[in-house]
Amino acid sequence: MLIGILSDSHGQFLAVRQAMRLFDRLGVTQVIHCGDIGGVEVFDELVGRPCIFVWGNMDLPDSGLFAYLRTVGIQPPNAVPFRLSLDGKTFAVFHGHEHGFNRAITTLDVDYILHGHTHVARDDRRGQTRIINPGALHGARRKTIATLDTAKDELTFHRVGSR
């Protein structure tokens, strides 16, 4: 399974559009957004794709946004970390600002921890857990996203845009 991972779009829907086009070309079958989405326009780019997301510290969900998400079929997260299983692998998705995040990355028994917040791409391991930050689509010198091939445990960072 090829998973597309992005974070910290902060409303930059054109960068998200470029990311989705790249994900489509690569054959991504699941998209995970690690928070700081930044607005309805970004969600518009995610509509029609299997998508999981978490709220970031800059996201301000309100009743109107929840109503919009229901109409377009995007399910808001019910907990942080958002836990899921894909292709026989276990995931915990954070934004990275949450209280207890640093402790969680050393104690959770999952295959992958995905997060954003720092705007810095990351790929490291703590024991059997691989910790991944795809980088950011806003506020980063190099705008990056990532793909994860779960069958091969292969992570690739991709640059988006010209900067």
Reading the chain (163 residues) residue by residue, the pLDDT tens digits are 999 999 999 999 999 999 999 999 999 999 999 999 999 999 999 999 999 999 999 999 999 999 999 999 999 998 899 999 999 999 999 999 999 899 998 999 999 999 999 999 999 999 999 999 999 999 999 999 999 999 999 999 999 986 4
Residue type, 156: T
**What pLDDT was estimated at residue 163?**
47
Longest dimension (CA), the chain: 42
**What pLDDT was estimated at residue 78?**
87
Q: Dihedrals φ, ψ of 158, to 5°?
A: -125, 135
DSSP code of residue 63: H
| Alpha-carbon span 119 to 122, nearest angstrom | 9
**What pLDDT was estimated at residue 162?**
65
The SS3 of residue 10 is coil
Domains of the chain: 2-159 (3.60.21.10)
